[in-house]
Amino acid sequence: MQVPIRKAGEYSDLSLDPKMTEAKFLELKTDLQKLTEVHRPKWIKEMRIAASDGDFSENASYQIAKAKLRGVNQKITDLEKLLAKVEIIHLDTNKSVVQVGSVVTIENGGKQSTYQILGSVETNPAQGIISLHSPLGQALLGQNLGAVVLVNDREYQIVKIA
């Protein structure tokens, strides 16, 4: 059976944003270590055990172990590439201008929201962490306390920078 050949889409080779906090960098290094020292050996062992059963073409456990190992190897490669070009975010003491790492409180229609602006690797809108590449993140960067920014036809006023 021949595997279909697919053309890469326009989003297939997007690299992750290398800007991250030191805590995230250390977390990713730990993940990489766990993948190389725990998960990869586990799936290599599983593949060897399944290979000893004989026929590879109809050996489901071998195919599964091989696919899992391929996935682990891809994650290792991706993490190594990302960690090789990391830019650690260092918070500046200047609290009058919004910058990467700033915690910004904005107001729209009497409602206040607080966001921290970080790299796309750490983005979690549910926890109030937005990407510096998001429309709101881009609009806020470089702005001063009290500034009003327009995003998607909505005005937001910066009421606090921490």
For residue 98, tell me if it sits in a domain: no
For residue 10, tell me if it sits in a domain: no
Task: Look at residues 88, 123, 142 and tell me which one is the last residue of a structural domain.
Answer: 88
Q: Assign 115 a pLDDT band (cuts: 50, 70, 90).
A: very high
The predicted-structure confidence for 10-69, as pLDDT tens digits, reads as follows 555 556 678 999 999 999 999 999 999 999 999 999 988 888 877 777 788 888 999 999
Give the total number of structural domains in the chain.
2
Same domain, 29 and 78: yes
Same domain, 60 and 112: no
Residue range of the domain that includes 115: 103-161
Sort strands 111-118 and 129-131 into parallel, antiparallel or unpaired. parallel
pLDDT of 162 over the 70 cut: yes
pLDDT for res 59? 82
Task: Output the 3-class SS for 46-74.
Answer: HHHHHHCCCCCCCCHHHHHHHHHHHHHHH
